[in-house]
A and B are shown apart, each in its own frame.
Chain A
Amino acid sequence: MAMILASVFAGTAFADTLTLHIKTPSNIGTLRAAVYDSQKSFETRKMIAGSVGPTIKGTSVLAIENLKPGTYGIALYHDLNGNEKLDTNLFGAPNEPFGFSNNPKIGFSAPKFDAFKFKFEGAPQDLNITLNGG
């Protein structure tokens, strides 16, 4: 019984909502966010959670619910044409706006997980993410 309680406690009691705030210039398209928990999960694009929501001129909000405490990184993009993928050019550079948690400095390639990871404590948390490029 104690074990069951403990696992229920661990599985749900600390899980909570991460809310993303993204400045968006128009109502066009959707925002698609992915949650990663390591460099490997980011490289292989194996997200552990995600969220999709409409774009609202001004600030758009995406909620990632029931997220357990842990170290995560968010990568998101603005799906302007609604094809549910980040469009890229011949050289693999994004054709649509994108952003990362921590808003790391974007160099000539994608940032490392270490640059956009953050700690989620299992309490409601808000993050502001700035879109780049596109």
Chain B
Amino acid sequence: MDRRTFSKMLAGLMTGSALPTHLQAKTPLGDQVSFLKALEEKPWLLGYLGTRETELHANLHIVSGRVPSDLRGHFLRNGPAQHNLGPDRFAHWFDAPGMVQRFTFADNKVTHHGRLVETARNVTETKAGRIQFLGFGTHGHDLTSGGSADGQNTGNISLINHAGELLALWEGGSPHIINPETLKTEGRKSWSAETQGLPFGAHPRVDKDGSMWNLGYSVNPAALILYHISADGQLLQTHVIPQTATPMIHDFMITATKIVIVAPPYTSSNTTDKSFIDLFEWRSDKPTQVLVIDKADLTNVSQIEFDPFWVFHFGNAYDIGTSEIGFDLALHDDPGFMTKDAFAVMDGSWDGAASAASRYVQARINLKSKTVSLDKAPEFGQVEFIQTDDRENLSSHRHALMLAQPGSASVFGFNRLVLVDRNTGNASSFDVSETEMLEEHLIIPKPGNERAFWIIGTALDWQKGKTSLSIYDGMHLSDGPIMKAEMDLALPLGLHGTFIQAAGG
């Protein structure tokens, strides 16, 4: 990033002049000043700078290869984007209002459009130009909860296209319906009055019949809630599992016959009016609980205890006979990524050491012996954002795609794509340049071919100050992208995405 670009960003950050007087008088929240100072010394922090725009239209310039003519549709990504509001800065990477970035492939071209997820909270705060509500990791004495979980809803984690609706997902409250063509937010999604506003996780799982399962966790009352929604969007059932201390659970799994919930010992042991994360405590003296629930009878639960570990994301899970379940995951020693690193990138203090190891693991649950076996792959280094091919859902999947950081990192991010062939045990990989940070990549099936796929995803080149979009041939990942397009701006590093195939595509 050159000096002029930086100055422009700085000027942009410091403009908060249109604020009402009562808001100007408040002491700024978060640490915008420290972050900007750190950004000068650590230009890779650009990924955590954020945007002040509510809508973005970037030009995409194809720098190599071409868009395959049979790739048609929307690649959509979500993530926290407005890290600064007026003079305030969110304290945690997961806190900011969400923004959907859409990349549309058609006629060998790709175009971009980004738009704020217009939750009530995001609209209020953007209009005020100040942080007004408590967040996942941001608190302050003037902040309120907004009266309900949805009062804090930033809609900033992920997206799913189900039953003809594109939903922007958060974890603590309602999904929001997004128009995929205009990216306009069309309101909160509720399946029934009983489930309105309840926690609805960011990683629903789609079953073979097109129905969708999801999990939510609630601190007050302490409970887990399971949802089953039909392929045409009707709520089939909900099931509440009371807890004594609620574990934070970001993802879960289904197989053809079971639901698998992994509950790390990161539980709501505290009472506080600070941020959400302050409610939780890492209990390394407690086990990770694995709950295996019979899909046909949700009250039929097997419980297995395992050594404590933390997990954000799983790959795919599948039954092996009637008494075993296979799956893969990115296993973390503890939640340090979330409790330490994700704060440190926001005030710029991250010093080059990840707080906890995260390893690619192939795991197996044995329901008879009530054991879990883990096959760790430390050779890939730090890994996250595991993806599998939707066509292999609920069956023993061949491929697992992930982002990796193979060495000791001087930046907080990933620079290697790894595709594991679980049948052969081999892995192929591709390294982006040292000045690039990868975001989640997806496996997109090639039309008309049962096994072939593309790998599609974005990366931020913090030196150039540009986000790029790449397409790889899944069978030849190590050859590098078959198309790479650069944007004329740097998008904030985001979280999860989805792909909507164009009609007839």
Contacts and interface: CB of A to CB of B under 8 A. Distances in A.
A94 B193 CA distance: 10
A24 B195 CA distance: 25
Interface stretch (A39-47, A50-58, A64-72, A84-92): A84-92
A94 B150 CA distance: 11
A108 B220 contact: yes
B221 interface: yes
Contact of B147 (A87, A90, A92, A134): A134
B149 interface: yes
A98 B197 contact: no
B273 interface: yes
B194 A132 contact: no
A98 B238 contact: no
Contacts of B238: 90
Which of A94, A95, A108, A133 has the most CB atoms of chain B within a 10 A radius of its CB?
A: A108
Contact of A89 (B146, B147, B195, B273): B195
B225 interface: yes
A91 B273 contact: no
Contacts of B501: none
B417 to A, nearest CB: 40
Contacts of A133: 146-148, 150-151
B197 A93 contact: yes
A90 B220 contact: no
A89 B193 contact: yes
A115 to B, nearest CB: 12
Contacts of A94: 147-148
A45 to B, nearest CB: 19
A123 interface: no
Q: Using C-beta atoms within 8 Å of the partner chain, give the interface range for chain A.
A: 10 to 19
B240 interface: yes
A106 B219 contact: no
A106 B273 CA distance: 9
A112 interface: no
Contacts of B149: 93
Contact of B195 (A90, A108, A109): A90
A90 B198 contact: yes
A89 B238 CA distance: 12
B144 interface: yes
A107 B133 CA distance: 11
A133 B196 CA distance: 12
Interface in B143-175: 144-151
A131 B223 CA distance: 27
B145 A89 contact: no
Contacts of A21: none
A109 B193 contact: no
Contacts of A134: 147-148
Contact of B194 (A89, A97, A105, A107): A89
Contacts, number: 58
A131 B151 CA distance: 11
Main secondary structure of the interface of A (DSSP, over half): loop
B415 interface: no
B122 interface: no
Nearest to B150: A133
A98 B147 CA distance: 8
A89 B196 CA distance: 6
B218 interface: yes
| Listed residue (A90, A95, A107, A132) with the most chain B CB atoms within 10 angstroms of its CB | A90
Given A107-B145, A108-B219, A133-B146, A95 B273 contact: no
Nearest to A107: B273
Nearest to A109: B220
A90 B273 CA distance: 23
Contact of A132 (B148, B196, B198, B220): B148
B147 A95 contact: no
Contacts of A105: 144-145, 273
Contacts of A131: 147
The CB with the most chain B CB atoms within 10 A, among A87, A94, A97, A133, is that of A133
Given A108-B219, A109-B220, A91 B147 contact: no
B193 A93 contact: no
Interface in A78-134: 87, 89-95, 97-98, 105-109, 131-134
A97 B146 CA distance: 10
A87 B197 contact: no
B241 to A, nearest CB: 12
Contacts of B146: 106, 132-133
A91 B148 contact: no
A98 to B, nearest CB: 7
A132 B240 contact: no
Contacts of A106: 144-147, 151
A131 to B, nearest CB: 8
Given A90-B225, A90-B238, A95 B196 contact: yes
A90 B240 contact: yes
Name the residue in B148, B198, B221 with the highest tally of chain A Cβ atoms < 10 Å from its Cβ: B148
A106 B219 CA distance: 15
Nearest to B173: A93
Nearest to A131: B147
A25 to B, nearest CB: 11
A91 B218 contact: yes
Contacts of B194: 89-90
B273 A93 contact: no
Given A89-B197, A95-B193, 4 more contacts: A89-B193, A93-B149, A94-B148, A132-B144
Interface of A: 87, 89-95, 97-98, 105-109, 131-134
| Those 4 A-B pairs whose CB atoms lie nearest each other, nearest first | A132-B147, A133-B147, A133-B148, A108-B220
11 contacts: A89-B196, A90-B194, A90-B225, A90-B238, A91-B223, A93-B198, A95-B197, A106-B146, A106-B147, A133-B150, A134-B147
